Structure 1
Amino acid sequence: MNANTQASNSANLLKGRRVLVTGAARGLGLEFARSLLQAGAQVALADILARDLHAAVADLRAQGLPAYAIEFDMNDPASIEACAQSAVRQMGGLDGLVNNAAMTHSGGKTLHELDVAVWDQVMNINVRGTWLMTRACHAALSESGRGAVVNLASDTPLWGAPKLLAYVASKGAIIAMSRTLAREMGADNITVNTIAPGLTLVEATEYVPRERHELYQNQRALQRAQLPDDVSGAILFLLSDLSRFMTGQLLAVNGGFVMH
């Protein structure tokens, strides 16, 4: 399915929804935001990459799409709170949150080579940041009455990708954490689910060695490269009314590289 076909099929699926997407200046996050906008949602795009962020939002708004830019730092708890408040203020409320912002920066090193400071930074941004952003958005999502949180993990903890320890550990933590969040937030009619994409062709995976790309492509049941648009459908589904009785679940979107 190409992007135009998906946009046509999902038109108005999220009409009236207000969604915050973190890490949305480029890559998967930007594709998620674009798909959500095409499905009828208002979207606040949040990122630390200010230049890329404002350029992306300007392009979306030039297409007549209701996109908003919020600069924030996932490593700063105060900035996370301010981001959530800004999203609610600009869109008049919040129905969905996509916790996509993350860092890798631990690739290519074994457990003995990995620096403690890098480990801590990855955990602070990927795990603590996801928790704090979800907490910051909780009240607005509860008020919505149809709140939905989608956390971005990875399929790497599902097969134990080597030389990526901090990242793998952080994404495994997000999978586990999402289940507890689902139980704690269920009373407020908020769903919390996790997506585990496979190796996707975006800026953030340019550092990945060719051998790893070949491993994925050769071992997938669907033997082709994974593109950002391959993941967007799962995001739309989990933020829509189609999945209102689905929570605490993990969707592996990887072409069948890992099956569970």
Structure 2
Amino acid sequence: MKTSAPSSSIEDYVKVIYSFTEWQDKPITSSQLAQRLGVANSSVSEMVRKLKDQGLVDHQPYSAITLTGEGMRLALAMVRRHRLIETYLVQELGYSWDEVHDEAEMLEHAVSETFIQRMSAKLGNPVRDPHGDPIPAADGSVRLPHAHRMIELDNGHSGRITRISDENPDLLRYLASEDINLDADVEVVGRKPFGGALVVRIGSGAQRREFDLADEVTSALWVQSESVHEGCVLTER
């Protein structure tokens, strides 16, 4: 008997579970999942039971939620769709990077796999989206940059911005207004006294400028060290 396609809710859940752990090792809890999806804890509990019954997650009461192999495959397929659509909206339709998330959320459930494959080919099979997040390949492999959040870096650390979190559209608009973009060179100067802003130099040559950045900003910027060759490894998921 033919298995029915997963619902959009199931696709959203596995995608959020994956995205939460993509840039850090700590698994997601039910309360964190509820907060990210904007739903009640009771709704999450019911859906997690459904996901477990379908073999998409592992979960025990009062413990974190992790994806199974099947859940990971579905999550990567949805992440690929989302990020390819975001890339297409920016590169081909002139959207700004703070506008694309909600559009992609709607479109990712509606388009066919053939559409996604042709979109990827049209874009030249990109490996990252407009925010620097890696786009999984059709076979599920992911090129994940060796990068750390700017807020975690020591004084004197240098590298380039390789990822910018898209959680806050206002922050993206601020960064765009200051011409702080992907691949910009960055050097950490130091922190202002008494827990003040982090002072960084961004850019190169005549375009190099100094910024005092709040923790909310430096927590959203990921820096790839200059010492890491090419900055990426092929990660099989």
| Alignment TM class, shorter chain as reference | under 0.3
Q: TM-score, normalised by structure 2?
A: 0.25
Higher relative contact order, chain-length normalized (CA < 8 Å, sep 6+): 1
Larger Rg: 2
Higher helix share: 1
